[in-house]
Structure formats: structure tokens, C-alpha cells
Structure 1
Amino acid sequence: MKMKERSGVRVARDMSLVVLAVASVFMIGCGPQAPEGPAITAVSWGGSYGRAYRGGIQIPFAEQTGIRVDTEDYNGGLAQIRAQVDVGAVHWDVVDLEMADAMRGCDEGLLEPIDIDRLPPAPDGTPAREDFYPEMQGPCGAGMLFYSTVYAYNADLFPDEKPATMADFFDLEKFPGRRGMRRVPQVNLEFALIADGVPLDEVYAVLRTPEGLDRAFEKLDTISDQVIWWEAGAQPPQMLADGEVVMSTAYNGRIFNAQVLEEQPFMIVWDGQLLDFGQLSIVAGTPRLEDALRFVRFATTGESQAAVARRISYGPARRSGEPLVTTHLATGVEMAPHMPTSPENAARALRNDWEFWVDNQDALNERFSAWLTRAN
């Protein structure tokens, strides 16, 4: 895929994250000495996904190679990566990125190129390029998993009629109570238009117009005083469990794990789900490049992806991984009905248009921040 040339407004920096990242760069040598031997730092989303990632990939990799994998959690974005690259002191090695951030990071020279033809073939010899789904292939990343942003509700709070459509999430009269939403424009703008009646195949075309953006923000206005904003993927299940909100946008796998491991009475509404996929990328300039590449090769096999998918309901990026996703390792629950890519769940799915967000992220971040200030 050929990258678009960007004219070049530099990404607006979240200064608090930059300061934290730069500070952490120079504090590395101040703590207790780590055990001797090769090590890399893998950065991901924490919570139930972080546990699935560690059990399915990081621990087996360390056992097989003798390379220790240290972990850090983050909430996404490029600010911390940019800070490390800018000062020339990279201590993150491998990072889970949303697709738009992976492409933007590649544009900015923040990520190392990854040649898909150097990734392992499928067990039957199918080359990686043919085994990965096409949308998973990027110049500075290897596809990991399909996941979706959905909304979920606590069934105990709705004894009669249940929310069933995206419009219901925005209907405070029919379903009163606080909502949880991630504090970013992504997904929220798409969900707002879906709830306002825009057909799925027209959502991004509408968002590309000034009138469409106004329409999305006007829809968000209708619930803004009832929204509690979240930043980390572990927050929505906790907010639902605590009764802080009656429904919340969330990553489907986080809700699944709360359902099967904690027996929470949560229900997922798949209508209008935003189906997305992530990239596993390497931070440019890491002095541990070879070990990082070795980790990426291990992590992006179908077997490794299936090992994660049997711990949390995110689908493998490789076709060869799908038959290996049978039951949930801890509970024996059949995984197929809980996958965002299953035919029934995907029937009313919107696929994330990462190109839209690469082109419009800066402007929409600014507009969303200004809107939040007014809304609050």
C-alpha cells in the first residue's frame, strides 16, 4: 500500500504525555538493576487484553527464546513514542497501535519498516502475505487481531425493554441513565451518525463534509450532560459493574471477559459496531531491533494470535489462526458466537476507515477538545 504524502502539519502534542515520556527516558537507569540477559519492552493496552497478550504470546516467547519481555500499559496515541524518538532515547520496543496511528507513525518516521514477506508462513506453507487479511498489511506494522468497539449495558438495570440499536444508546427518554464513552472523537462521531439514521455505507462520506461533522456533534450534544468519559479499556466494565453508568461504549473483548470470568450481567449490542484491527509495530531507533523483530515474528503467527483469541474474543489477523480458536481456555465457552467477525455479529458492522482518521485526526482532536470544554 502506497503511503500518501502529507503536506505536513505536525501532530499536535499532548504535552503532559510528552513530559512523562521524556522523564521516563531519563529515569530508566535510576531504579533497581534488572536481571541480566536480553530483554525487550512490549507496550499494550493492559487489563484483560494485557493478560491475554501476556499469557498467549509474551510468556511463551520468553520461554522459547530466553528474551525477557517487560510490559508497559498505555492508552494509545503517538505522543510517548514521538518523545522517545525525538530525544534519541528509545526504551519502548514493540507497541500495539491502532491502525491510523500506525500509518501516521510510519509517515513521521517514528516506526521501523516491517517486511511482511519476512514474517513466518502459515503451517501449510502459505506465505504470510497471502495468510494475513489484506487490510491487516501496513508498511510499519504487522496485523494482530480484529476487535470492535460496541456498546454494552447492565441487564439488571433494564428488566423490561432492552437497548437493541445504536439509536437506543442516544435515547435518554426511552433508556435514562448515564453513558460511558471514550474521550476521543474516533468512534463517537461514527456512532452519532449511525444513531441519527445515516446508513452504514455512507457514514464516512457524511463525515467528510462540514455539514456531516456538524450533524455528528449535534447528536453528541443530545447526551453530553449524561456522559462519563473513559480513557483506558479496563474502565467501561468497571463503570458498568459499579453502576456508574447504565451503558457504555467498550471493546467487545473486555465485556466478554467480564461476562465469562466475572459472571457480570452485561449484554453487548452489536448493532453499528465499529470493526477495527490493530498493528504490532517497532519503535524507530530501538537498540534492540533484532530482538524486537524476533518478537514480532513470533507474535504474528496464526498460532500465537489464536492463543490470544482463546483468552479474549478478538479474531486473528491471519486466516490460519481462525480454525485454532475453539473454546475459551479458562471456561470452555465456545468462542465463535462472541467474535466480532462472526456473520451474525458483523451483519450491522461498520469497518473503521483509518484513512479518514489519518487525514483528519489533528483537526478533529482540536474540535472535539473544544466541544468537550463547552459540553462540560
Structure 2
Amino acid sequence: MAGALIAAPATSETLTVSSWGGVYQDAQRALYFTPFAEAFGVTVLEDEFGGGVGVLRAQVMSGTPTWNVVQVEAEELTLGCEEGLFVPIDYDLLDFGPEDFIPGAATECGVGTIVWSKVLTYDANRVDIAPESWADFWDTDTWPGTRGLRRGAQYNLEFALMADGVAPDAVYDVLRTPEGVDRAFAKLDELRDSVIWWQAGAQPLQMLAAGEVVMSTVYNGRVTASNRTGGTDFRVVWPGSIYAIDSWVIVEGTPNVDTAHAFINYTIAPERQAQMPEFIAYGTTVTAASDFVPEEFAADLPTTPGNIEQAIEFDTEFWVENIESLTERFDRWAAR
């Protein structure tokens, strides 16, 4: 069990953890990286991951990966596990087994760390009428100005269909048809001249704060963190949001697999994981952790009943099957 690992890492050992940067990684540093390093006598180095299986594949193919533990999104977890890019998780080295996690959070190659949503956000100080839907996001007459979207097909095709009137619970049924894909790209055509594409998770709120965009897609937790610590008045539009689970993975070729497991185990302690919503509003993955989340923070979480009922779950199966073809089409579309 994990308790036997507490004294295991040598003091000279280094663990490199790659996550998503910005205020979220600041929270991870405070809750996980620094205290774990102190408790284990390990040097924890950090890097930032911008997404994409290709980066992870290159790490493994190098034979000497510079990353040991990485936080990945659902489709990267599935694809990377299928390709053998990740070390299978040994749940005997963790204090919690698959039965102790919410559905989908404990898998062969990954341990869920947060539940997050991709949402519509806007600066309440810069709009006279509050947008309420993806149709409003596309309405450049009522809300003139530029929009922020993360570059890529994922999420944007779903948002485009909802903007075009598709009911949230029908989005993936429509997107599974050639006509649905055409419809989504046609809707993106309407907005293409009004978009600034972002990649790093910190960018959308930076653009909002600077007035570069009127509204943007964003990871929900960053909105709450900015409002709490930065004095901003960014608002989240929950209807039509898409939620997913991010997981810790151990990169194949990592020499210190036991230490990587020890780090993951440290982060999933319920009382510790329940502190994350105090920093940034992401839901917990260990079932017991929800009992420790202070009530005043629960309302901002994507897992809160009133929020999740208006959302749809990211369809990992769809994107694993279609990621290459739709990414190629998106790249051709964006390059036109």
C-alpha cells in the first residue's frame, strides 16, 4: 500500500510533473507539488502541457522522457493508453481503488484528478446584456466584437451545433453523421472572422481582461479563481457547457515509477483533494472528497447538480474514433 512508499524515494530523486499552467498549476503547486516534495524529500520540477497525444508520443519515442507524471484530458488518456504511452496504474500502490472514484475516474492508465467544464464566459463589466447560450456567442450583431475559442475541432464542433439549435443531449448523435459535421463547420464559418484562437489555458481570461475578446470559451475553474484573487467579474454560462475528467498518467519510460505512484496517491487523499475548489472551481474525483468541500465553494463546481444538469459529458469514444479525421478537416478549414 501507499503507506510503504512514504520513505521510499531517495533524497536525490527528481520527479517532473507537467500540467496546464496558470492559476490552476499555482493551486497544484500549493496543494500537491511543494508539500509532496517536502514530505518525500523529492525534488519536484514542473512543466506545462498544452495538449495533444503527439507531444506525449514524442516523449516516449525519445527513450528518455523528460516528463514523469502528466495531467491529460480524456481522449489523450484513451489514445495514449491504447498506444502504450503510459505505465499501467498499480492500484495496489494507492490508498484508493477504482471503486472509490466517481464513474470514469479510475482507469487502466490514469487516475482522475479533477472534473472540469469548458464553458462560455464573459466580462460583466464589458457587456450590457448578459449572453445566455451558444447562440448568443455566435450573435455578433447583439454582441459585437471578437470571440475566443481554443484552436481545434474538439468542443468547437459541439458548441457550433448547439449555436445552430441542436439540443445538448442530441449533439453527439448529430455529430456522428456526415451532415452533422458539415453543419458544424458551416456554423463555424459564420464566426471565423471574429475569432482569436487560444491554446494555453491562461489565455482566455487574459484576453477578456485586456478587452481583446467580448466572450470566450474557458476552463470553468479559472473563472472563479480570477474573480476571487484578481477582482474580476467574469461570469460563467452553464447551459451547454461540456464537462470531462482530467487524469494523472505516468509516462512510459519513467525510471521512478514508484515515486510517480506515490505522488498520485498524495494528490487523491480526500481531505487534500477537497481543498482544490478553494483555489479553483474544479470538481473532485474521489467520492469521499465531496464530503470535505466547503459549502460556499460547491456552487461553482461543474459537478454541482444545478450546473451539471445543464451540461453534457464530453464523448471520449466519439473523439477517439474521429479525432484524426476531424482535426485534419479543422486544420484545413482554419488554414483557408
TM-score relative to the length of structure 2:
0.94
For the 8 Å contact 1:165–1:272, the answer to whether it is kept is yes
Mapped pair 1:274 → 2:242: yes
Specify the alignment match of 2:209 in structure 1.
241
* Aligned-residue offset at 1:116: 3.6
**CA distance in structure 1 between the partners assigned to 2:40 and 2:103 by the alignment:** 30
Specify the alignment match of 1:130 in structure 2.
99
Mapped pair 1:315 → 2:290: no
Look up the SS of the partner of 1:222 in the other structure.
helix
Q: Which residue, 116, 119, 137 being the options, matches 1:147?
A: 116
AA aligned to 2:328 is E
**CA distance in structure 1 between the partners assigned to 2:107 and 2:152 by the alignment:** 23
* Aligned-residue offset at 1:43: 0.3
Specify the alignment match of 1:3 in structure 2.
none
Look up the SS of the partner of 2:302 in the other structure.
coil
Range moving further from structure 2, 258-267 or 222-231: 258-267
In the TM superposition, 1:95-134 aligns within 5 A as: 95-116=70-91, 118-121=93-96, 128-134=97-103
Closer/same/farther in 2, CA of residues 215 and 116 from structure 1, 3 Å limit: farther
Overall identity of the aligned pairs, in % = 45
Look up the SS of the partner of 2:112 in the other structure.
strand
Specify the alignment match of 1:9 in structure 2.
none
* Aligned-residue offset at 1:240: 0.3
**CA distance in structure 2 between the partners assigned to 1:40 and 1:373 by the alignment:** 39
Specify the alignment match of 1:69 in structure 2.
44
* Aligned-residue offset at 1:46: 0.5
Specify the alignment match of 1:28 in structure 2.
none
**CA distance in structure 1 between the partners assigned to 2:58 and 2:257 by the alignment:** 18
* Aligned-residue offset at 1:335: 0.7
For the 8 Å contact 1:116–1:142, the answer to whether it is kept is no
Specify the alignment match of 2:313 in structure 1.
351
Q: Which has the higher contact order (CA 8 A, sep 6+)?
A: 2
**CA distance in structure 2 between the partners assigned to 1:362 and 1:276 by the alignment:** 20
**CA distance in structure 2 between the partners assigned to 1:232 and 1:192 by the alignment:** 21
Specify the alignment match of 1:340 in structure 2.
302
Look up the SS of the partner of 1:364 in the other structure.
helix
Look up the SS of the partner of 1:139 in the other structure.
coil
In the TM superposition, 1:20-31 aligns within 5 A as: none
**CA distance in structure 1 between the partners assigned to 2:66 and 2:127 by the alignment:** 47
In the alignment, structure 2 segments of 5+ residues that lack a partner are: 1-10
Specify the alignment match of 2:259 in structure 1.
291
* Aligned-residue offset at 1:318: 1.0
AA aligned to 1:311 is F
* Aligned-residue offset at 1:117: 5.0
For the 8 Å contact 1:57–1:307, the answer to whether it is kept is no
Alpha-carbon RMSD across the aligned residues, in angstroms, is 1.4
**CA distance in structure 1 between the partners assigned to 2:29 and 2:320 by the alignment:** 29
* Aligned-residue offset at 1:299: 1.6
Look up the SS of the partner of 1:316 in the other structure.
coil
* Aligned-residue offset at 1:300: 2.2
Specify the alignment match of 1:37 in structure 2.
12
Look up the SS of the partner of 1:63 in the other structure.
helix
Deviations 1:319-357 (A, max 9, x none): 111121217xxxxxx211111111222221010011111
**CA distance in structure 2 between the partners assigned to 1:235 and 1:149 by the alignment:** 14
Aligned pairs, how many?
327
Specify the alignment match of 1:258 in structure 2.
226
Q: Which residue, 136, 139, 162 being the options, matches 1:168?
A: 136
